[in-house]
Structure 1
């Protein structure tokens, strides 16, 4: 190994000293790489996705380590194998799309996949307030001495998962600029920086998520056709429990994380299932996620009555409209009064 970039021993330094310094340097590098590799998600074996090694033993620089999610809760699905399907899509195609109603865990599972794969996560909400400066970068101050990379350019340089949330709210000019990144060209042209060409990192993956159009997501629009074609795999998400179909795993999840009895957990999931049924019919603007139900359960386990806790966590969350709140209140009360059994589905209108 060369000493400070020179194969010759510097004047006044013995060969033994050179070897010692080289050994010390190699040891430091080895220890640093070992430390960077030290964290491995305990959920990696659970989901049995070892054959889809997305990082392929690539060691990300230390500044990227803090972007790798840690301690992400387990994702519970109903036999859909979402984790495996996403990692398989990224392994084969480098990019995929997730579509489904709000509250079905799309963002949660992207965090989980990033943790299992050991990849930094670059998350971008594609709302209309997100500017091209935020995404691609800008010069700061006067002149062209201080350039600051945006999120997408930083991802291009460093690798990991670029997560575009609410992608169907993305500005069309942004989607168009992403197209070269997502096809065989694999680069982005920085018009803002003298047309510098930034190649896509070999360990760079893309996941987009979007909600189907509904009254809740009035700002959504169809994806740019060229951008849509570049998403090689589409994975559809749905709620664990909807209508008369109540998933026992969701009941167990609420009982364990919310700290309530099985009977109360079942009542809560029944409420959520009925509200989701009404939401999917376009009758209410929002349906409770698993997280919403857990929040409800936590207040109940803290001593608040079931109906009173629902006012704070379920009913008020659904809408600001008093008529809609009253409709949701009626559904909650009916399901709770039916005890642990399935309350009849209530259609609105």
Structure 2
């Protein structure tokens, strides 16, 4: 259970969409680049609805067995242990599949029957079909265009969800987020947001990912705790973004100029 309300600044009608999707038992897909608040939004809404939240961070080795469950040896017995998906289906929890496009294809196959009118999970190892609890909700997130389309969701999968698009917030809101998250001075927060805006427009550097709100929050935390401003920006923004020496020097020059 998310016992404390996470700070979240609504920029659209995300909460309304979530609540209506929840009431109508419709899966929800969150699209957007890393660090734009997708996971924070899910935590915020889990707290708002009072629902248990189970989060799975998907990667290339995540399989349907990891989600559904497996037999394990316990003493002299072989016992079945439910995975996070089965647990959420039985108990009526929110299951959040973070970066679902990174998972193996069999994961998508496993959740198909939960994303339409059936709302049921077939566990082949048990020969059992589990009807989803009425409070079960499936949420997935992914980063469209990540690594130039290397990992994408098929249209047949995407059309099983209603979707929300997450983008970097406008400057005023992003400044408020930095101040609320870190306690940093508002003028410094404005400078960091301005740096973020400049870097996001530097497409000529060929960065695979641009600066996220999360990175700006990290820089603000370091500054607020007493680390010099330029050094904070270099280690929290420049170094995580690129290993290319020329790109890093360009980013450092930009930050030095603006700080």
Same fold (TM over 0.5): yes
Gaps of 5+ in 2: none
- Corresponding position of 1:39: none
The one-character-per-residue Cα deviations of 1:140-195 (angstroms, maximum 9, x if unpaired) are: 128974111111111111111111111222322221121112212221111122x2
Partner residue of 1:92 out of 24, 30, 38: 24
- Tell me, in whole angstroms, the C-alpha distance in 2 between the residues paired with 1:326 and 1:219: 28
Q: Which structure's relative contact order is higher, taking Cα pairs within 8 Å and 6+ residues apart?
A: 2
- Tell me, in whole angstroms, the C-alpha distance in 1 between the residues paired with 2:209 and 2:119: 38
State whether residues 175 and 224 of structure 1, in contact with CA within 8 Å, keep that contact through their aligned partners in structure 2.
no
Find runs of 4+ consecutive structure 1 residues off by over 3 angstroms: 142-145
- Corresponding position of 1:105: 37
- Corresponding position of 1:268: 192
The one-character-per-residue Cα deviations of 1:57-106 (angstroms, maximum 9, x if unpaired) are: xxxxxxxxxxx11224221143x122222222222243111101111100
Higher strand proportion (structure 1 or 2) = 2
TM-score, normalising length from structure 1? 0.68
Partner residue of 1:287 out of 185, 188, 210: 210
State whether residues 295 and 313 of structure 1, in contact with CA within 8 Å, keep that contact through their aligned partners in structure 2.
yes
- Corresponding position of 2:90: 157
Q: Which runs of structure 2 are paired with 1:112-127 in the superposition (5 Å)? A: 112-127=44-59
Gaps of 5+ in 1: 1-67, 242-246, 337-349
- Tell me, in whole angstroms, the C-alpha distance in 1 between the residues paired with 2:110 and 2:86: 12
State whether residues 250 and 269 of structure 1, in contact with CA within 8 Å, keep that contact through their aligned partners in structure 2.
yes
Structure 2 residue 157 is matched with structure 1 residue 227: yes
TM-score, normalising length from structure 2? 0.90
CA, structure 1 residues 88+196, in 2 after alignment: closer, same or farther (shift >3 Å)? same
Partner residue of 1:166 out of 99, 115, 119: 99
CA, structure 1 residues 331+82, in 2 after alignment: closer, same or farther (shift >3 Å)? farther
State whether residues 32 and 142 of structure 2, in contact with CA within 8 Å, keep that contact through their aligned partners in structure 1.
yes
The 10-residue stretch of structure 1 (134-143 or 98-107) with the greater mean CA deviation from structure 2: 134-143
- Corresponding position of 2:6: 73
TM-aligned CA deviation for residue 277 of structure 1? 2.8
- Corresponding position of 1:257: 181
CA, structure 1 residues 264+198, in 2 after alignment: closer, same or farther (shift >3 Å)? same
Partner residue of 2:125 out of 192, 197, 201: 192
- Tell me, in whole angstroms, the C-alpha distance in 1 between the residues paired with 2:177 and 2:95: 29
State whether residues 172 and 224 of structure 1, in contact with CA within 8 Å, keep that contact through their aligned partners in structure 2.
no
- Tell me, in whole angstroms, the C-alpha distance in 2 between the residues paired with 1:126 and 1:168: 8
TM-aligned CA deviation for residue 313 of structure 1? 1.0
Count of matched residue pairs: 258
